[in-house]
Structure 1
Amino acid sequence: MSQAEKEKQKLIARVRRIRGQVDAIERSLVRGDDCADVLMLLANVRGGINSLMAEVLEDHIRLHMTEKNSQLPTDLAEDLIDLVRAYLK
């Protein structure tokens, strides 16, 4: 299995975990659970989505913005990745 395929499978697994978390929110709402519990589940989903977005953005920056013909220097790309990760935490 290629590195790209492994990365793709990791992203798909992450999406499936997020889907499970969203399903847990629905079950919690149907049961009428306490608002604090629902809010905690929502925060977990938000964290998962932000983490997934950061990963996809990092891959995009690394693969498409730092190619040989790109004008974006590698050190600037790394700074951009750090900024994205900090913003999405």
Structure 2
Amino acid sequence: MGHTSTNPELLARVRRIAGQIGAVEKAIVAGEPCATVLHRVAAVRGAVNGLLDEVIAEHLESHVAAPGLAAAERKAGADELLAVIRRYSK
């Protein structure tokens, strides 16, 4: 997907997700109830989906909708995004 500029908000999201993954691991190691693990995994899934939404929006703004892009650049940006959506939205 091309270059993603350093974005402190995205990095903060990734770090929070890493913490949530750590909490899932601890819950499993500690033998916590399935419901606790499920809630933690669901929270991770929601956080990852939110991160995905932000990265998609950034990609669209930078590689599809940015003023001054050539038609070939726009097509390449759209094709990259479509390939990711097709591969991971199953």
Once the two structures are TM-superposed, the CA of residue 66 in structure 1 deviates from its matched residue by 1.1
Q: How far, CA to CA, are the matches of 2:60 and 2:71 in structure 1? A: 11
5+ long unaligned stretches in structure 1: 73-83
Aligned partner of 2:22 in structure 1 is 23
Give the alignment's Cα RMSD to 1 decimal: 2.3
| Residue in 1 that maps onto 2:59 | 60
Give the structure 2 partner of residue 32 of structure 1. Answer: 31
Whose helix proportion is higher, 1 or 2? 1
Q: TM-score, normalised by structure 1?
A: 0.69
* Alignment correspondent of 1:43: 42
State TM-score, norm by structure 2: 0.68
Q: Percent identity?
A: 39
**4+ long deviations beyond 2 Å:** 67-72
Question: How many pairs does the alignment contain?
Answer: 70
Equivalent residue of 2:27, what SS? helix
Query: Partner letter of residue 47 of structure 2?
Result: G
In structure 2, stretches of 5+ residues that fail to align are 75-84
